[in-house]
A and B are shown apart, each in its own frame.
Chain A
């Protein structure tokens, strides 16, 4: 047994809005008991499925978001099960729930109902629009959270006849879950001192609102509006492209352009080593840059030579990228001290030598299938209390007997 949260008991009553929070806790050692309705959690019906065949135990979505959890089936509309649930929570440190606002109160399972028997309970509610906000009853999906909450405004293309883009991967609920975990940990540390639990109200729409970087603070500070651009930061005034199509049809992203004389020297050396010395027409400007100590960015607007040097440096990164496969550009560029990146498809991280060397892909056994699969691994490397997947996501009701033995 390991993990910094070893010994912590969490009861989870969540579908897609909150189950990521439960996984973050479970993978760090907490005992997370997922309470499912008799037919199973809704997310057991989410794509993708094992070999594309639908089934309660075949959702890869469910597999991912529920590693290390225990599954207990309780029908909260039935009094006996509700009583069991209350006993379960009476012994828990944390309750995580993402029910629609009002539902828990209707069941008699609200914070005020449960703190009576467990004043040390940290009761975490994750809702789309807050429990008390004016729009708390609004229907939502990840798409409408990201569109209404701000992220989509900044994401898309230079061509504004194309729609803004929702970032992929259901990040709207994941962002809410990050705040849920941060906040419940604060409440746990506080409980060490006060001995008391409390209610933590997590508001997903607001979480997305404060996860938009410059879009929000540019408005807050000086009431200007950023505009979306292809593959780079949305800005108030248009900026130059940073996403480059490489020779193999893949994309790379350039970082900060050369600014110091030594940057220009390294850039010239890179051109030479690639035998592109004569092909790059703006080479003389790179040589001028190499002769300087550094480029004074404040002088770009008044000194055409400085502007030409800076422009050539930026352009040369793009030129080299267009002549190399993306991975070669990425690794050669970084080895030569240039801050550049490759645009990987998600699955390409699982094959990348660095991710592999750090042990990022981990094997998880599915004994009932007699199979092992690679899963994404630890988001952080704890030295002493490690992240781990001890068991694959639970089968429906797999742990009812064991967990409920003492509560029935």
Chain B
């Protein structure tokens, strides 16, 4: 087998959904051996994404979930019925030969399964254990349950996204499931780096609400230092710029049904060029010559600019402004940025993987390239228990007759 950047690492993986599975997907893309454990009795439904839409046309069922596939490419999948003592013994064996145990259950679940940190450490003294949940394993809300939208709401990210005089818009998706997964991957890798220097493992208690709160840093300091909260009159308005200040800065209507163009003038030079291109009566309006004036009259400015952007397609306005070095981009639909964007295509951002049941399917790739040991994604997510034989025989050394009896007795 070809040696990859992380081929030397094995992860005993209980993660699911995106918040956890996204982290181990990243490691698997660089060759880490990620062994995903699923419950055969619940048919893997620890992870609510298993077997739910989107489906490829004509497909459905447990093995056909598009989101599950997207987040679990390149992983091995085994089933272990942990109600059974033999299965628990198999898990102990796997943990003892793993570098890291990962999970994003509610706090305390792995402990109640009998595999809390103390037990993990007993099985492998330098084990790295990374738990990922909304509020962490300690503190008044440790027992609370979350999912992406709740994490975003509590951490301030939902509130900070919205238009003036409108309710919070939130993110329209689980931004903190993605970002929680990124942090979880960072935590795993940093703990591995620490182990490589010191020989010691550790537990990382990751609380995604804390990671989410950190992402509004300058607004937090504006409050703690200047006493200015984001919850105040006429605030927030996230299509306008908060820090640094710019105007015009917004998402404006373009010609066509639900078509929009984002435009930002970073400074007076950007504005002068935009005004010149527009050649409109307002282009020479003195109120708009300097940033302070444009900010003071931002409502008028936005109305006037909208009356110009709505005359043509978002793509045409973007080309016009970009030709003069002014930041502008259409609000791109998924189809536009996935199927008709040479910037993502040339990068190889949407690789096709081969899934045992789904066949060929495209997935999210990685927005990085390493010059010497790059990522690659070619295998789809594992079907339920797809790698039982491989993992139990090749990694854990069970004989084929032992594996057959595990199967017969409902251990796997």
In the complex, which of the residues B159, B209, B216, B327 contacts A144, with contact meaning CB atoms closer than 8 Å?
B327
Task: Report whether A219 and B171 are in contact in the complex, using a CB–CB cutoff of 8 Å.
Answer: no
Task: Report whether B344 and A193 are in contact in the complex, using a CB–CB cutoff of 8 Å.
Answer: no
Task: Report whether A163 and B260 are in contact in the complex, using a CB–CB cutoff of 8 Å.
Answer: yes
Task: Report whether A143 and B241 are in contact in the complex, using a CB–CB cutoff of 8 Å.
Answer: yes
List, in ascending order, chain B residues with CB within 8 A of A284's CB.
Answer: none
List, in ascending order, chain B residues with CB within 8 A of A174's CB.
Answer: 215
How far, in whole Å, are A383 and B191 apart by their CA atoms in the complex?
A: 10
How far, in whole Å, are A64 and B362 apart by their CA atoms in the complex?
A: 38
| Pairs A–B under 8 Å by Cβ, sample size 18 | A4-B194, A5-B190, A132-B346, A143-B241, A163-B250, A181-B186, A185-B192, A194-B372, A198-B371, A214-B173, A218-B66, A221-B55, A223-B335, A245-B167, A255-B145, A342-B154, A378-B210, A383-B202
Q: How many A residues have CB within 8 A of the partner chain?
A: 153
A73 within 8 A of B: no
A315 to chain B, nearest CB (A): 19
Segment from A43-51, A81-89, A397-405 that makes contact with B = A43-51
A41 within 8 A of B: no
Task: Report whether B178 and A213 are in contact in the complex, using a CB–CB cutoff of 8 Å.
Answer: yes
Q: Closest chain A residue to B190 by CB distance?
A: A4
Proximity bits, B93-136, A CB within 8 Å = 1, else 0: 00000000000000000000000000000000000000000011
A310 within 8 A of B: no
List, in ascending order, chain B residues with CB within 8 A of A229's CB.
Answer: 172
A321 within 8 A of B: no
Q: A111-B371, A139-B325, A382-B187 are in contact. List 20 more A-B contacts (CB 8 A).
A: A7-B197, A8-B193, A143-B241, A151-B171, A153-B333, A162-B163, A164-B331, A167-B157, A167-B238, A182-B185, A182-B186, A186-B189, A186-B370, A189-B196, A204-B367, A212-B173, A218-B66, A357-B140, A380-B207, A380-B211
Segment from A274-282, A301-309, A347-355 that makes contact with B = A347-355
A148-B332, A168-B157 known; A130-B55 Cβ under 8 A: no
A209-B344, A349-B213 known; A215-B367 Cβ under 8 A: no
How far, in whole Å, are A190 and B4 apart by their CA atoms in the complex?
A: 8
A147-B331, A222-B56 known; A203-B368 Cβ under 8 A: yes
Segment from A32-40, A230-238, A265-273 that makes contact with B = A230-238
Segment from B76-84, B227-235, B382-390 that makes contact with A = B227-235
Task: Report whether B175 and A334 are in contact in the complex, using a CB–CB cutoff of 8 Å.
Answer: no
How far, in whole Å, are A344 and B263 apart by their CA atoms in the complex?
A: 29
B266 within 8 A of A: yes
Segment from A101-109, A286-294, A368-376 that makes contact with B = A368-376
B144 within 8 A of A: yes
A365 within 8 A of B: no
A4-B191, A166-B161 known; A147-B6 Cβ under 8 A: no
A339-B146, A380-B187 known; A210-B349 Cβ under 8 A: yes
List, in ascending order, chain A residues with CB within 8 A of B150's CB.
Answer: 253, 255, 339-341
A134-B342, A168-B242, A218-B66 known; A178-B186 Cβ under 8 A: yes
List, in ascending order, chain B residues with CB within 8 A of A201's CB.
Answer: 368-371
A163-B250, A210-B366, A341-B149 known; A385-B202 Cβ under 8 A: yes
How far, in whole Å, are A149 and B329 apart by their CA atoms in the complex?
A: 9
A13 within 8 A of B: no
Q: Closest chain B residue to A231 by CB distance?
A: B170
List, in ascending order, chain B residues with CB within 8 A of A50's CB.
Answer: 225-226
A106 to chain B, nearest CB (A): 18
A147-B330, A216-B334 known; A379-B183 Cβ under 8 A: yes
A174-B215, A376-B217 known; A206-B349 Cβ under 8 A: yes
List, in ascending order, chain A residues with CB within 8 A of B258's CB.
Answer: 160
List, in ascending order, chain A residues with CB within 8 A of B367's CB.
Answer: 176, 179, 202-207, 209-210
How far, in whole Å, are A179 and B189 apart by their CA atoms in the complex?
A: 12
Task: Report whether A243 and B168 are in contact in the complex, using a CB–CB cutoff of 8 Å.
Answer: yes
How far, in whole Å, are A213 and B179 apart by their CA atoms in the complex?
A: 11
List, in ascending order, chain B residues with CB within 8 A of A206's CB.
Answer: 343-344, 347, 349, 367
Task: Report whether B231 and A348 are in contact in the complex, using a CB–CB cutoff of 8 Å.
Answer: yes
Task: Report whether A165 and B186 are in contact in the complex, using a CB–CB cutoff of 8 Å.
Answer: no
A52 within 8 A of B: yes
In the complex, which of the residues A141, A224, A341, A383 contacts B154, with contact meaning CB atoms closer than 8 Å?
A341
In the complex, which of the residues B144, B218, B249, B331 contacts A48, with contact meaning CB atoms closer than 8 Å?
B218
Listed in ascending order, the chain B residues whose CB lies under 8 Å from chain A are 5-6, 8-9, 18, 26, 30, 54-57, 66-67, 69-70, 135-136, 138-141, 143-147, 149-151, 153-163, 166-175, 177-179, 182-183, 185-187, 189-194, 196-197, 200, 202-207, 209-211, 213-226, 228-231, 236, 238-239, 241-246, 249-253, 258, 260-264, 266, 322, 325-335, 337-339, 342-344, 346-347, 349-350, 361-373
How far, in whole Å, are A163 and B224 apart by their CA atoms in the complex?
A: 32
List, in ascending order, chain A residues with CB within 8 A of B175's CB.
Answer: 151, 167, 171, 211, 213
Q: Which 10 A-B pairs have the closest CB atoms?
A: A148-B329, A346-B156, A168-B160, A147-B262, A341-B150, A206-B367, A4-B194, A154-B172, A221-B66, A347-B223
A60-B221, A155-B170, A190-B6 known; A214-B67 Cβ under 8 A: yes
A243-B168, A354-B141 known; A148-B226 Cβ under 8 A: no
A187 within 8 A of B: yes
A258 within 8 A of B: no
Task: Report whether B338 and A219 are in contact in the complex, using a CB–CB cutoff of 8 Å.
Answer: yes
List, in ascending order, chain B residues with CB within 8 A of A213's CB.
Answer: 18, 173-175, 177-178
List, in ascending order, chain B residues with CB within 8 A of A330's CB.
Answer: 154
In the complex, which of the residues A153, A187, A381 contacts B331, with contact meaning CB atoms closer than 8 Å?
A153
List, in ascending order, chain B residues with CB within 8 A of A217's CB.
Answer: 54, 66-67, 70, 363-364
A259 within 8 A of B: no
Task: Report whether B236 and A168 are in contact in the complex, using a CB–CB cutoff of 8 Å.
Answer: yes
How far, in whole Å, are A169 and B182 apart by their CA atoms in the complex?
A: 17
Name A64-93 residues within 8 Å CB distance of B: 64-65
